[in-house]
């Protein structure tokens, strides 16, 4: 995938400034520079290598260099030369791949050579052991870890700089993290990772980003680095950025969490500035209807119109719901009741039963405050003529879509049913949702991206399995495919357990027959202490047992049982060995066998019953 605008369309470039881009001739950012109204010059890294050091007349307000550093013969000298073309108060933005990116730990081939784990292994530099030559191949470039890149910047005498960590990488980032605080859960909910086409991947990198940001480990594991460098100027005060570039010009926006306690939202295209104003109007309208929302104001700076609001440092509602799904289902349901109450409160029903629906009243756009009070933000989208049920449906659907925890513990249909949304209603609402998504997310234009964001889980699992080949001991072939052992299994004890385990050791699939109460009473003249249902439940709970069946007068005969089960071997205690010679021969004619095991000495159901009887008599 080519470099996309979302790597820099969130950055506050000043209009009318000058910019030098080090890139290939077909730079994918030219449209961005034009839209930002900056005068720019794009040159290839090869052209730049022939330039002499700059004098004051050749300096720029901005220098952008993405991935060219990786092919430089002397990276530190390259950066030093690049900075010589920068005005003292100017800003350079340098992007590079991280050789320790989480993608590479998941098996993705090294960017420059296509060889897995090559960058992680330090390109095998300095090793004297025999190493295949192709493992060392880095002719097309090499990537850097954070420590290496720090060394390059210090050698190049960079005055002050700041790291950004694009997620998932430099090519199509949807989030930009820093060493500051990132909202936990945001990446999981919003990320459309797109790069699973490699047949070598054995891990799901998008499942790891939230934990990596939570542990403040992006400096080591981010797939890419974007470094902001300045001399006497100021570094941008962003701590976390979310970019929705896939929504097209009308809806594309960047939400920037700053270290000053404010959140800014910027339109990525001029057409989107009206959307910011609409968001501000929606916020005021919701507040007037009694819906708790974060207040916001519209402002304008040298880089365009923006919307500003206070940064709320509270738990995201999605994270809270995940906790409740595990520990407190009633509280989980009560919180959704509050969400739906806000949706209904905001809904102005018309004469035909339809009206304006606020579609962002959802867990992903809310905080949980003390007392389980809710506080919503970013109320951007509405459906002008829809039903209140549509807002509820979307709120429930998208929370469950992003939460593995909730899907494992709570039935989404139960939650929807709580608000009168059944299967028939769901089908109707889903059709409405498809139309909305097509309009907002520019689905037709981004079809290839969304298709690539669906990882081939089967292939990833096969790759993980291949990694184990040769590492695990060879599988021992068992003597039989299907084995069968019947018994009473009353007052279950270790003798029963040992018998079943020995049977399982001899067959791939073990069926255990449990005699019914009537059959036991017929043969032993007394009922079992434990009833059939409970005896079968105990047997079914054993790891060694694959199937449990009741044994009654119809299948107590060994040959009748074979006709029913077609087992390969009938297992039994050795006290019956001499009685069943005829049966053993008849089973042999059918291709089956009988095997006998000795009983565990010192314990039996009869002995347990005798012990209990003596104790009850005070003996």
Predicted local confidence at residue 345, as pLDDT: 93
Q: What is the mean pLDDT of residues 572-577?
A: 79
- What would the mean pLDDT of 303-310 be, rounded to a whole number? 85
Of 91, 137, 102, 99, which is closest to residue 121 (Cα–Cα)?
Answer: 99
Q: What is the per-residue pLDDT for 115?
A: 85
pLDDT at 83 over 60: yes
Q: What is the pLDDT of residue 471?
A: 66
The pLDDT of 202-227, averaged and rounded, is: 89
pLDDT at 136 over 70: no
Q: Is residue 69 helix, strand or coil?
A: helix
CA separation (Å) from 216 to 89, 165, 182, 236? 30, 11, 9, 20
Is 4 a residue whose pLDDT tops 50? yes
pLDDT (mean) for 140-145 = 89
Residue 197: the pLDDT is 54
Q: Which residue has the tokens 């709120």?
A: 395
Mean pLDDT of 226-249: 88
Residue 224: predicted pLDDT: 95
**Per-residue pLDDT for 239 more than 80?**
yes
Mean pLDDT score, 514-536? 92
481-507 average pLDDT score: 93
- Say how far apart CA 273 and CA 306 lie, in whole Å: 8
Average pLDDT over residues 378-403: 92
pLDDT at 400 over 80: yes
Of 18-27, 196-205, 460-469, the poorest mean pLDDT is in 196-205
pLDDT beyond 50 at 551: yes
Q: What is the CATH number of domain 480-614?
A: 3.40.50.620
pTM of the model as a whole: 0.70
At 21, is the pLDDT very low, low, confident or very high (cuts 50, 70, 90)?
A: very high
According to DSSP, residue 171 is labeled S
- Contact indicator for 116, 110 with CB cutoff of 8 Å: yes
pLDDT at 1: 46
Inter-residue contact 99 to 56 (CB < 8 Å) = no
DSSP letter for 249, please.
Answer: H
What is the pLDDT of the chain when averaged over all its residues? 87
- pLDDT for residue 32 is more than 60: yes
Q: pLDDT band at 199, cuts 50/70/90?
A: confident
CATH architecture of 1-172+201-241: 3-Layer(aba) Sandwich (3.40)
Q: What is the pLDDT of residue 135?
A: 65
pLDDT at 93 over 50: yes
Decide which of 286 and 133 is more confident: 286
| pLDDT recorded at residue 485 | 96
Where does the pLDDT of residue 90 fall: very low under 50, low under 70, confident under 90, or very high at 90 and above? Answer: very high
Q: End-to-end CA distance of the chain, in Å? A: 84
pLDDT band of 195, cuts 50, 70, 90: low
Strands 507-515 and 480-487: parallel
* Averaged pLDDT for residues 70-85: 93
Q: What are phi and psi of 310, to 5 degrees?
A: -70, 145
Q: How distant, in Å, are the alpha carbons of 321, 378, 570, 573 from that of 362?
A: 12, 10, 59, 63
Matching fold, domains 1-172+201-241 and 480-614: yes
Q: From the DSSP assignment, how many helices (H) and strands (E) are in the chain?
A: 25, 23
pLDDT confidence of residue 151: 96
Q: Which two tokens stand for residue 148?
A: 């290496």
pLDDT at 63 > cutoff 50: yes
Predicted local confidence at residue 611, as pLDDT: 75
Average of per-residue pLDDT across 509-516: 96
Q: Name the percent of the chain lying above pLDDT 90.
A: 56
What pLDDT is stored for residue 470 in this prediction?
63
pLDDT score at 3: 62
More confident call, 470 vs 447:
470
Cβ neighbours of residue 590 closer than 8 Å, sequence gap 6 or more: 559, 562
Share of the chain above pLDDT 70, in %: 89
Q: What DSSP string runs through 79-101?
A: HHHHHHTEEEEEEEEEEEEBTT-
Q: Max alpha carbon distance in the chain (Å)?
A: 110
pLDDT for 172? 82
Residue 45 CA to residue 424 CA, distance in Å, equals 59
pLDDT of residue 461: 78
Residue-level pLDDT at 133: 67
List the chain domain ranges: 1-172+201-241, 315-452, 480-614
Q: What is the pLDDT of residue 600?
A: 72
HSE, side-chain direction, 13 A CA sphere, residue 608: 14
Average pLDDT over residues 376-386: 91
Which tokens go with 557?
């005969």
CB 542 within 8 A of CB 500: yes
pLDDT attached to residue 116: 87
Q: Give the model's pLDDT for residue 599.
A: 74
Backbone angles phi, psi at 263, to 5 degrees: -120, 130
């Amino acid at each position: 995938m080519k470099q996309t605008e979302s790597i820099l369309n969130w950055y506050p470039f000043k209009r009318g400034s000058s910019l030098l881009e080090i890139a290939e001739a077909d730079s994918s950012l030219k449209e961005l520079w034009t839209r930002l109204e900056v005068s720019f010059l794009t040159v290839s890294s090869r052209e730049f290598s022939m330039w002499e050091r700059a004098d004051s007349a050749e300096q720029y307000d901005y220098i952008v260099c993405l991935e060219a550093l990786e092919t430089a013969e002397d990276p530190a000298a390259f950066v030093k030369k690049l900075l010589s073309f920068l005005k003292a108060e100017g800003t350079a933005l340098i992007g590079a791949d991280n050789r320790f990116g989480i993608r590479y730990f998941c098996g993705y081939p090294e960017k420059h050579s296509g060889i897995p784990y090559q960058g992680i292994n330090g390109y095998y530099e300095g090793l004297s052991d025999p190493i295949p030559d192709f493992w060392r191949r880095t002719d097309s470039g090499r990537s850097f870890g954070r420590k290496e890149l720090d060394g390059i910047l210090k050698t190049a005498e960079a005055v002050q700089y700041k790291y950004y960590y694009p997620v998932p990488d430099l090519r199509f980032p949807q989030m930009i993290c820093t060493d500051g605080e990132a909202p936990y859960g945001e990446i999981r909910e919003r990320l459309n990772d797109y790069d699973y086409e490699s047949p070598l991947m054995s891990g799901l990198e998008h499942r790891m980003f939230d934990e990596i940001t939570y542990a403040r480990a992006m400096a080591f594991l981010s797939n890419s680095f974007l470094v902001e460098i300045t001399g006497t100027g100021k570094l941008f005060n962003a701590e976390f950025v979310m970019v929705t570039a896939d929504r097209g010009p009308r809806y594309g926006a960047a939400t920037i969490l700053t270290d000053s306690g404010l959140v800014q939202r910027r339109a990525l295209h001029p057409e989107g500035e009206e959307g910011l104003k609409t968001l501000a109007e929606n916020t005021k309208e919701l507040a007037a209807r009694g819906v708790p929302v974060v207040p916001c104001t519209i402002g304008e700076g040298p880089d365009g119109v923006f919307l500003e609001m206070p940064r709320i440092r509270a738990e995201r509602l999605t994270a809270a719901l995940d906790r409740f799904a595990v520990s407190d289902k009633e509280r989980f349901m009560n919180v959704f009741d509050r969400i739906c109450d806000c949706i209904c409160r905001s809904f102005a029903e018309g004469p035909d039963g339809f009206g304006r629906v606020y579609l962002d009243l959802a867990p992903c756009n809310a905080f949980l405050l003390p007392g389980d009070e809710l506080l919503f933000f970013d109320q951007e989208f509405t459906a002008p003529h829809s039903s209140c049920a549509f807002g509820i449906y979307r709120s429930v659907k998208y929370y469950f879509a992003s939460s593995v925890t909730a899907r494992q513990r709570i039935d989404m249909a139960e939650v929807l049913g709580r608000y009168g949304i059944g299967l028939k209603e769901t089908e109707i609402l889903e059709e409405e949702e498809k139309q909305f998504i097509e309009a907002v997310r520019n689905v037709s234009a981004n079809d290839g991206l969304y298709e690539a964001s669906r990882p081939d889980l089967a292939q990833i699992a096969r790759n993980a399995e291949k990694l184990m080949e040769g590492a695990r001991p060879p599988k021992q072939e068992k003597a039989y495919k299907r084995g069968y052992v019947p018994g009473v299994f009353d007052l279950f004890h270790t003798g029963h357990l040992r018998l079943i385990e020995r049977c399982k050791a001899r067959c791939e699939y073990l069926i255990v027959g449990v005699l019914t109460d009537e059959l036991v009473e017929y043969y032993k003249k007394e009922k079992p202490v434990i009833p059939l249902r409970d005896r079968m439940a105990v047997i079914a709970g054993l790891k060694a047992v694959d199937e449990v069946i009741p044994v009654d007068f119809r299948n107590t005969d060994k040959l009748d049982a074979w006709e029913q089960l077609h087992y390969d071997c009938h297992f039994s205690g050795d006290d019956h060995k001499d009685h069943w010679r005829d049966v053993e021969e008849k089973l042999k004619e059918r291709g089956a066998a009988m095997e006998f095991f000795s009983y565990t000495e010192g314990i039996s159901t009869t002995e347990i019953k005798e012990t209990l009887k003596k104790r009850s008599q005070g003996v």
